Amino acid sequence: MIKKLLDRIFKSKHAPSIAHASSTTHPPHKAQQRSKLSAKSAHKHVDGPHHGALSIAHKTHKIDRDLLSNAALKTTEGLHKAGFEAYIVGGAVRDLLLNRRPKDFDVATDATPEQVNRIFRRSRLIGKRFRLVHVLFGDETIEVSTFRGSHLEAAGDAKVSDSGRIIRDNVFGSIVDDALRRDFTANALYYNPASQEILDFHNGYADIKAGILRIIGKPETRYAEDPVRMLRAVRLSAKLGLNIEASSQAPIAKMANLLEDVPPSRLFDEMLKLFLSGHAMESVAALRAQHLHHGLLPMLDVVLEQPMGERFVMLALQNTDERILAGKSANPSFLFASLLWHEMLVAWENHKKDGQHAIPALHLATSEVIASQAEKLAIHNRYTATMREIWGLQPRFEQRAGKRPFALLTHPRYRAGYDFLLLRCASGELPMELGEWWTTFANADGEARTAMLQADSTPKKRRKRPRKKTTAITPE
Ligand code: ATP
Ligand code: MG
Q: Which residue has the higher pLDDT, 465 or 35?
A: 465
pLDDT for residue 45 is more than 80: no
pLDDT for residue 129 is more than 80: no
Q: 142 CA to middle of ligand 2, Å?
A: 11
pLDDT of residue 147: 95
Q: 142 CA to middle of ligand 1, Å?
A: 14
Q: Which residue has the higher pLDDT, 86 or 27?
A: 86
Q: 91 CA to middle of ligand 2, Å?
A: 5
Residue nearest to atom 11 of ligand 1 (CA): 91
Confidence band, pLDDT 50/70/90 cuts, at residue 466: low
Rounded CA gap, 275 and 330, in Å?
Answer: 10
Q: Taking residues 392-417, report their average pLDDT.
A: 94
pLDDT of residue 451: 87
* Residues 407-452 pLDDT 10s: 999 999 999 999 999 999 999 999 999 999 999 999 998 888 888 8
Provide the mean pLDDT of the chain.
83
pLDDT for residue 190 is more than 60: yes
Q: Taking residues 21-42, report their average pLDDT.
A: 38
pLDDT of residue 151: 61
Using DSSP's 3-state secondary structure scheme, residue 198 falls into strand
- Catalytic residues, which ones? 104, 106, 183
- Give the CATH architecture of domain 331-452: Orthogonal Bundle (1.10)
Q: Which atom of ligand 1 is nearest to the CA of 235?
A: 3
Q: Quote helix, strand, coil % in the chain, to nearest 5.
A: 55, 10, 35
Residue nearest to atom 26 of ligand 1 (CA): 183
Rounded CA gap, 389 and 411, in Å?
Answer: 10
Residue nearest to atom 17 of ligand 1 (CA): 90
Rounded CA gap, 121 and 136, in Å?
Answer: 9
Residue by residue, DSSP assigns 217-258 as S-HHHHHHH-THHHHHHHHHHHHHTPEEPHHHHTTHHHHGGG
Which residues are within 8 A (CB) of 467 and not within 5 positions of it... i.e. 6 or more apart?
Answer: none
Using DSSP's 3-state secondary structure scheme, residue 295 falls into coil
Q: Taking residues 19-38, report their average pLDDT.
A: 36
Q: Which of 262-276, 346-360, 370-384 has the lowest mean pLDDT?
A: 370-384
Residue nearest to atom 14 of ligand 1 (CA): 90
Q: Which of the listed residues 130, 183, 242, 283 should we mutate to test ligand 1's pocket, taking the one with most ligand atoms within 8 A of CB?
A: 183
Q: 98 CA to middle of ligand 2, Å?
A: 14
* Residues 148-164 pLDDT 10s: 987 655 445 566 676 66
Q: Taking residues 294-305, report their average pLDDT.
A: 75
- The alpha-carbon radius of gyration of the chain (Å, integer) is 28
Q: Compute the residue count for the chain.
A: 476
Q: Which atom of ligand 1 is nearest to the CA of 273?
A: 3
Confidence band, pLDDT 50/70/90 cuts, at residue 32: very low
pLDDT for residue 469 is more than 80: no
End-to-end CA distance of the chain: 106
Q: 103 CA to middle of ligand 2, Å?
A: 7
Q: What percent of the chain has pLDDT over 90?
A: 58
pLDDT of residue 261: 86
pLDDT of residue 43: 52
Q: Which of the listed residues 232, 237, 258, 277 should we mutate to test ligand 1's pocket, taking the one with most ligand atoms within 8 A of CB?
A: 232
Nearest CA to 185 out of 159, 205, 171 is that of 205
Using DSSP's 3-state secondary structure scheme, residue 290 falls into coil
Q: What percent of the chain has pLDDT over 70?
A: 79
pLDDT of residue 302: 77
pLDDT of residue 411: 95
Residue 151 in contact with residue 169, Cβ under 8 Å? yes
Q: Taking residues 205-228, report their average pLDDT.
A: 96
CATH 1.10.3090.10 residue ranges in the chain? 331-452
**Highest mean pLDDT (candidates 15-24, 120-129, 287-296, 453-462):** 120-129
Using DSSP's 3-state secondary structure scheme, residue 344 falls into helix
Q: Taking residues 263-280, report their average pLDDT.
A: 90
Q: 187 CA to middle of ligand 1, Å?
A: 7
pLDDT of residue 51: 66
pLDDT for residue 29 is more than 80: no
Residue nearest to atom 7 of ligand 1 (CA): 91
Q: Which of 3-17, 262-276, 328-342 has the lowest mean pLDDT?
A: 3-17
Question: Ligand 1: which residues within 6 Å by Cβ?
Answer: 90-91, 106, 182-183, 187, 226, 228-229, 232, 273
Q: 180 CA to middle of ligand 2, Å?
A: 17
Residue 250, amino acid? A
In CATH, what number does 2-222 get? 3.30.460.10
Q: Which of 38-42, 67-71, 188-192 has the lowest mean pLDDT?
A: 38-42
Residue by residue, DSSP assigns 116-178 as HHHH-SSEEEE-SSS-EEEEEETTEEEEEEE-B--TTSSSSEEEE-TTS-EEEEE-B--HHHH
CATH 3.30.460.10 residue ranges in the chain? 2-222
Q: Taking residues 271-297, report their average pLDDT.
A: 85
Task: Count Cβ atoms within 10 A of the Cβ of residue 208 and give its class: 0-12 exposed, 13-18 middle, 19 or more buried.
Answer: buried
Enter the pTM of the model: 0.79
Residue nearest to atom 28 of ligand 1 (CA): 183
Using DSSP's 3-state secondary structure scheme, residue 213 falls into strand
Residue nearest to atom 1 of ligand 1 (CA): 91
pLDDT of residue 128: 73
Q: Taking residues 329-337, report their average pLDDT.
A: 91
Task: Count Cβ atoms within 10 A of the Cβ of residue 300 and give its class: 0-12 exposed, 13-18 middle, 19 or more buried.
Answer: buried
Q: Which of the listed residues 187, 208, 228, 277 should we mutate to test ligand 1's pocket, taking the one with most ligand atoms within 8 A of CB?
A: 187
pLDDT of residue 374: 78
Which ligand does the CA of 240 lie closest to? 1
Residue 7 in contact with residue 112, Cβ under 8 Å? no
pLDDT for residue 260 is more than 80: yes
Which ligand does the CA of 165 lie closest to? 1
- Cα separation values, 262 from 225, 285, 300, Å: 11, 22, 15
